[in-house]
Amino acid sequence: MEKSLTQLGNLIYEQINNQEFPWIHMQSRSTDNILYDTNLRQYVLGPRMIRRHSRNIRHIRPFTQLIWTAWFAKELVTQKKTSTLRETYYSARGQRDIEYTDQQESDNIITDLEVALNRAREDFNIFPAERSAIFGDLTIEYTVPGYEGRRTNLTDHPDGIMIGPAITSSEFIETSADKVLVIEKGAMFNRLVEEKAHEKFNALLIQTAGQSPRSTRAIINRLYTDYNLPIYIFTDADPWGLHIAMVIISGSANAAHLRGLATPDAKWIGVLGSDILNYKLPTEPLTEYDHKRLFELKADPRYKDQFWQDELDILLKIEQKAELEAFSKYGLTYIVDEYLPAKLES
């Protein structure tokens, strides 16, 4: 990592020394260059390249920000420190002229750097603010400074362990689990821990806290690829829940330049539209916004399989949506005792 950052510095340095306005080549991230790759079953960047050129009056500011961010990343890497997107944004605050107007702008430059280096930001130690967590019988060994070689079992903490830089960079030593259960919400995750779902289903539990961060997706992918653990995703029955599952399965357009984040074989097991009817779940009507979103998803290439199209259609047809919590209607343990076993069986 350090080497590619230094290389980038050298490139710019040489250009300036040759009395050339520095510029770099990178893949375009504009929407028309984001394509859905049916083989990889995820979004990828197309062949179009763009030039970020400091001779261009509109490019020079983002170009400068990019070089600054590269320097900042190198500092992190060489000093073995980690930082968050938010911290990175704030670190630029002190730098006159480089300063970002908002975090969006900063995040965007970091993504540019990923594209330029062809590496994920986690590789240069910039992580999102974490809210997602993992729980279950998995022994890991830390590699972060000060903890090198230390081991821990992820059942040690009943609240689950936050998926941050330490977990992301750790070695996975062993696990007795034979599946991974991904849940969209913290409350349901806690319920499952309390009800010992990890033992009952012999599963690792992961909660994504809404749309899952990239590091969480990376771990899911790792558990699937390295340990062959099947992944089951469990979300609300509404367009937002569906899409949380879909991003884990097929990735996002924002990360089209990265590999190893999508897990195409992960399974969304519920709450399905048909579950609403079969289990007679308490529902809420779709809002106008839900409606609009459902139609957007129907047009999305990731949803082109019949299975997904049918699921979207059911919601549109019954005009209702349901949350995970809806199962509480049948008692607090119903979901662990009845629903999940049934789902995992099929």
- The footprint of other proteins (CB under 8 A) covers 5-6, 8-10, 12-13, 16-17, 19, 21-22, 54, 57, 60-61, 63-64, 67-68, 70-71, 74, 95, 97-98
Question: Nearest CA to 231 among 255, 250, 209?
Answer: 250
Residue at 188: amino acid letter: M
Q: How far is the CB of 136 from other proteins (least distance, A)?
A: 41
Nearest residue (CB) to other proteins, 8 versus 206:
8
Q: Which is nearer to other proteins, 96 or 317 (CB)?
A: 96
Token pair for 153: 């079992």
Cβ pair 200, 336 in contact under 8 A: yes
Q: State the minimum distance, in angstroms, from the CB of residue 77 to other proteins.
A: 11
Identified catalytic residue from 36, 43, 90, 289 = 90
Rounded to 5 degrees, φ, ψ at 112 are -55, -45
Query: Which residue number, 3 or 317, has a Cβ lying nearer to other proteins?
Result: 3
CB of 53 to other proteins, least distance (A): 12
Nearer to other proteins, 90 or 224 (CB): 90
Instruction: Determine the distance from the C-alpha atom of residue 76 to the mean position of all C-alpha atoms in its chain, rounded to a whole number.
Output: 22
Contact 317, 298 (CB under 8 A): no
- In the bound complex, what is the minimum distance in angstroms from residue 66's beta carbon to other proteins? 9
Q: How far apart are alpha carbons 238 and 75 in whole angstroms?
A: 43
Residue 36: C-alpha distances to residues 130, 171, 268, 290 (Å): 28, 32, 20, 24
Q: 303 catalytic, yes or no?
A: no
**For the packed helices 306-318 and 288-299, what is the interaxial angle rounded to 10 degrees?**
160
Q: Which residues are catalytic?
A: 90
